[in-house]
Amino acid sequence: MPIIGRNYYLGSSGQRETFNDNKSAFRKIKIIPKVLRDVSKYCTKVTVLGTEIDYPIGFSPVGLLKLAHPEGDLALVAGLKNWNTILIMSSYATNTIEDVAERAKGSSLQLWMQTYFFKNFTTTMDIINRAEKNGFKALVVSADTNVNPTETCGARSGLVLPPDVEVINVGQNYKTAIASNATFNDIVYIRSRTRLPIVAKGILSASDAIRAIQAGASAILVSNHGGRQMDYSPATIDALPFIVDTVKEYYPHIEIYVDGGIRNGYDIYKALARGAKMVFLGRPSIWGIAFNGSSGVNQVMDIITSEFQEVMTLSGHTDPNQITRDSLLPQLPTF
């Protein structure tokens, strides 16, 4: 991978503590297998926002994918075309919403659209309206990006895009386009202007999850932006159970998802055990297309679904919905 792409994707905020904790927190969690269970027949399907998918494994939004592969998001879509899963397209994509939708036509892939709250709210609404028009199934609003922090490797401040890479759905002022005055009222407004379900992404506290739901969110994506926003914020797998417990008490129908630090099928299992309905991968998709384009992404999905299927059955379960917190050693972090 060219160094500009490598630095952008490896960049993280502050001292890289949250970036590192996202992965190390998973390693501290131990699985308690249930033995002498009949696992000869099993199912890995789950229902997310009313749609059945084959695995509780999807892909988080990643921007500037042409830094990893010449086809950018189109390579990602092509690699996932035979998988009945969810891909969240970044508003900082280097392909148009229309081209990504066209590439996904006739495939098993479900497309969701991510957006930020932009200073020019017309940009936000344009992305939402185009996504809705082109058959995207949900809208993912990033709630954790009112300020762009300094990142290691010059991932933001030192980023100079080559001529053939354009943040095409946002425009040339993409570095300064995000609004610093966004509030939960912006979710209220978007809720009034779209038929798509809204997923609030970047939530790390139970109180913010409740506020997002009250503002109109249909689901919560527990995320710390892959360690690229507030350093020393908690690893998402550590924040997840507290958010799950609070939300399920007041809004039991609301689904909760998680991303951040997920690298294998064991991580998927642990996230489900701590209450996630769906788990999203970020950087693995980048390494997949950088390695071998669409075939590399397909290989990533093949590896991680096989790992998940194996750990699910090894632990004595035949369905993702059976995986609960008593599948893990009873040890939770305290805040």
Return per-residue pLDDT of the chain as tens, 335 residues.
888 999 999 999 999 999 999 999 999 999 999 999 999 999 999 999 999 999 999 999 999 999 999 999 999 999 999 999 999 999 999 999 999 999 999 999 999 999 999 999 999 999 999 999 999 999 999 999 998 888 887 766 678 899 889 999 999 888 889 999 999 999 999 999 999 999 999 999 999 999 999 999 999 999 999 999 999 999 999 999 999 999 999 999 999 999 999 999 999 999 999 999 999 999 999 999 999 999 999 999 999 999 999 999 999 999 999 999 999 997 655 55
Q: What is residue 334's predicted lDDT score, i.e. its pLDDT?
A: 54
Q: What is residue 155's predicted lDDT score, i.e. its pLDDT?
A: 66
Q: What is residue 152's predicted lDDT score, i.e. its pLDDT?
A: 82
Based on the residue annotation, tell me whether 225 is a catalytic residue of this protein: yes
Structure tokens, 183: 């509030």
Residues 6 or more apart in contact with residue 68 via CB below 8 angstroms: 1, 5, 9, 286, 289, 290
Global pTM? 0.95
Q: Which of 69, 225, 253, 317 is catalytic?
A: 225
